[in-house]
Amino acid sequence: MSWKDMTNEIIPIFPLKLVAFPGEHLNLHIFEPRYKQLIADISEGDGRFGVSVYLDKLMPFGSEVHLEEVSKVYEDGRLDIKTKVIRVYELIRFENPFQDKLYAAGEIIPFENDISVAAHLHNEFIFYLKEFFRLIGEPQSIIPLAINSFTLTHKIGLSLEEEYELLVMRKESMRIQFLIKHFIKVIPVLREVERAKAKIRMNGHFKTLDALDF
């Protein structure tokens, strides 16, 4: 691969076993020499690099992030950095290492994302979202207009594979329906656990029982 052969954007690529959703803040600890070099290079440029999802292999979709801050530099050169996820991309070509660098880079195409969703579908999603966090005992401050399919997704118990499946959906309505199906599956289980806990709490308490006529 050479720079002149590529017609789309080229960014450094950082493969990780995680899914980074648009809008989230991603904090990373950098310790490998190749990624120290990557951060040094983007710090002198536009601050952008790609976090490509690695499952059992490098997946074709990932998230472009922007370096917001190098929070700490350790004596041995390790770094703590803060980034913000900008958008999803499709990885068209990948080279590791890239040219004379230690790190990989790739040619990407920005992901087209339809953010429109029907009001009734979004309202149903918010209902299930609130009920889920109530049942696990971690109520969240949920402002419906500020919530989308990515906002709290890391906290609702999806597997890495399910998070990736969500990431590559091109429509918000599809993502919302996917999450509603997840809630419909897990919320009844959580309600059963809640009922079991209530019964356990009653053990040892004085009980008033109806008299039996026999």
Domain boundaries, the chain: 3-110, 119-202
Grouping H, G, I as helix, E, B as strand and the rest as coil, residue 34 is helix
Q: What average pLDDT does this structure show over 79-101?
A: 95
Q: What pLDDT score was predicted for residue 139?
A: 78
Out of 1-10, 121-130, 141-150, 205-214, give the one with best mean pLDDT: 121-130
What's the CA gap between 178 and 46, in Å, rounded? 35
Asked if 72 contacts 65 with a C-beta cutoff of 8 angstroms, the reply is no
Residue 214 has pLDDT above 80, yes or no: no
The mean of the pLDDT values for the chain is: 89
- pTM, to two decimals: 0.84
Integer angstrom CA distances of residue 167 from 24, 66, 90: 13, 18, 11
Which residue is listed with tokens 């960014």? 11
CATH class of 3-110: mainly beta
